[in-house]
Amino acid sequence: MIKSTMSYDRLAMEPPGALSQEGYARGPDIEALRSRIAEAKKIVDTAKTALDASKLAKDRLGAYLVLGVLASFTFQVLYNITMSAGLAPVKGLTLPLMSYGGSSMIATLAGFGLILNVRMRRFTN
């Protein structure tokens, strides 16, 4: 058996220091980083929209409803992050809008439907 003298990066399976034609590093670690950034942006945009809806609500009930759904969403996201980092025990809590789970997805979408309803009702008498 002949051993190769070239060392390859474990993740990308390319020679060390290899760059793509555009001059950027390539490999699964860069793609994973891009997807994580997109996930974080989606979560932050959703939270901003919910906060705007609570500010625009006509009554306190609508504002409290939006803040309750947002608190539930935020708790699920933060707990999932701490589970992934190993700082909290692993439970069956899904990451909203990302993880596969039938009843969790239905509950999340119903909560966002309530937020959109409160936002829509700000124009009615």
Of 52, 45, 40, which is closest to residue 115 (Cα–Cα)? 52
d(CA 99, CA 107): 13
pLDDT, residue 113, reads 93
Query: Would 8 be classed as within a structural domain?
Result: no
pLDDT, residue 67, reads 92
Q: Which residue has the tokens 């974080």?
A: 40
d(CA 89, CA 94): 13
Query: Would 7 be classed as within a structural domain?
Result: no
pLDDT, residue 30, reads 66
d(CA 70, CA 49): 10
For the chain, the domain total comes to 1
Query: Would 76 be classed as within a structural domain?
Result: yes
Give the pLDDT confidence of 54-94 residue by residue, as tens digits: 888 888 888 999 999 999 988 988 888 888 888 889 888 88
Entry pTM: 0.64
pLDDT level of residue 9 (50, 70, 90 thresholds): very low
Res 8 pLDDT > 50: no
Query: Would 77 be classed as within a structural domain?
Result: yes
Query: Would 117 be classed as within a structural domain?
Result: yes
What type of residue is 76? Q
pLDDT, residue 65, reads 92
Query: Would 102 be classed as within a structural domain?
Result: yes
Give the pLDDT confidence of 24-49 residue by residue, as tens digits: 555 666 666 677 777 778 888 888 88
77 lies in which domain range?
28-123
